[in-house]
Amino acid sequence: AERMEFYYSFIDFNQKKAQYYSELYEESLKVINVHRDVSKCYYHFVRMFIGGKQVYSRKYLDGFSEEIGRLQHLQMKYPTAFVTDRVFSTLWFYYVLRQEYNHLIQVCDRALEYFAKLNSTDKQFMYEMRKGVSYLYLQEYDLARHYLIGLNKYNLTPGMLSWNSTKTYQFMLEIIMKSYQRAADILIEVVTDNATRNLPGIWLQQWNIRSAYIHFLAKIDCIELDRYGKKRVPNFRLGKFLNDVPTYSKDKRGLNISIIIAQFLILLADRKYDQIADRIEALNKYSYRHLKNDYRLRSNCFIRMLIQLPRANYHPKRASRYAERYFDRLQTTRMNFNEFSNEIEIIPYEDLWEIIMDLLRRRLR
């Protein structure tokens, strides 16, 4: 528009056309500024969501209510696909952070209706996935499965990030529903696909960590891996696992916790109690250094519960009694559902504790 304004102002003089393109250029600048405006707000909420902090004060989030209202006004004034997507996405993350989960479904339904009219397959996929995740937050797991498994209809290309996100949430859903064999099926599908090697290193390492938990469940006879023949998870060796997954030196989000717990579980399954005892002090230090903030309460409580096992001489009743206060505190905060927090809590800690208690009870028989 700017070039056309120049052309009709200096080359082929036409005042009417020059004015038209001048106004068009001004309007284009307004749209560009709106795009930037809504994107800045969207990125801010994404950073809050991904940053690992699960609970924000209501007063802090109330401070954004005016900004949210302004974005919705901009959407009505500039109803482009880009602005609409950014606003709906911002609203979705905003309501997650506010823990107002019923609003999530409304946002997804409005977005799906809008993008269905545009026949935008990519956006329909995105909001169907978010709708499935919304039902996870609402603990309506059958509906979550309907939408998350339904994402397979999009025939996603293995190795792409959209495929990885879909498999991650499908895996998480089956774990939460305690359908551990189905979770193993999903993991085996991913790790045996050659395209998985195309994933960025961090995503590939996350599947390695999930594999450790699946192998723990196999070791204690909760699932079966041998039935897959050639298509199976590679043999698991704790030393190789610890070499393959990195440790994060600063560990600002507590990402090492899933690795540390996996190591503890494998040693427990193998009855290597001496090695567990050697790591108790390290667990204490890690918990103090990285998990003392309120938004890491769940991980801190669970580490404290694990520490009680050697103290109780691995007796389930004593361990349960010693860990009771930490277990009660654990239940005051719900598990967070996003691809990053999932790396901190592969199996919900309440369920994982019951699995451990059941293992110890079986060993007494």
Report, as an integer, the average pLDDT of 36-51. Answer: 82
CA distance 287 to 278: 16
Whether the pTM exceeds 0.75: the reply is yes
pLDDT in tens, 115-132: 999 999 999 999 999 999
Report, as an integer, the average pLDDT of 164-176. Answer: 95
CA distance 286 to 305: 14
N- to C-terminal Cα separation, the chain: 81
Band (109; pLDDT cuts 50, 70, 90): very high
State yes or no: pLDDT of 67 exceeds 70. Answer: yes
Q: What confidence score (pLDDT) does residue 249 get?
A: 45
Report, as an integer, the average pLDDT of 207-230. Answer: 84
Report, as an integer, the average pLDDT of 344-364. Answer: 93
Helix axes 121-137, 141-150, angle to 10 degrees: 160
pLDDT in tens, 309-351: 999 999 999 999 999 999 999 988 877 766 555 457 899 999 9
Question: How far, in whole angstroms, is CA 168 from its chain's centroid?
Answer: 8
Q: What confidence score (pLDDT) does residue 31 get?
A: 60
Q: What confidence score (pLDDT) does residue 298 get?
A: 83
Q: Which of 61-75, 256-270, 312-326 has the highest mean pLDDT?
A: 312-326
Q: Which of 2-11, 12-21, 254-263 has the highest mean pLDDT?
A: 254-263
**Token digits for 361?**
């009870």
State yes or no: pLDDT of 89 exceeds 90. Answer: yes
Q: How far is CA 191 from CA 213, 243, 263, 360, in A?
A: 14, 18, 20, 30
More confident residue, 231 or 365: 365
pLDDT in tens, 177-190: 999 999 999 999 99
State yes or no: pLDDT of 105 exceeds 80. Answer: yes
Write the DSSP symbol of residue 10: I
More confident residue, 35 or 144: 144
Q: What confidence score (pLDDT) does residue 221 get?
A: 92
More confident residue, 73 or 119: 119
Query: Helices (DSSP H) in the chain: which residue ranges?
Result: 2-6, 15-50, 58-62, 65-77, 81-98, 102-117, 121-137, 141-150, 161-176, 180-191, 201-219, 238-244, 256-269, 273-290, 297-311, 316-330, 341-344, 349-364
Q: What confidence score (pLDDT) does residue 42 get?
A: 87
CA distance 345 to 352: 10
pLDDT > 70 fraction of the chain, expressed in percent and rounded: 79
Q: What confidence score (pLDDT) does residue 122 get?
A: 95
CA distance 129 to 256: 27
pLDDT in tens, 131-142: 999 999 999 999
20-34, 90-104, 160-174, range with the lowest pLDDT: 20-34
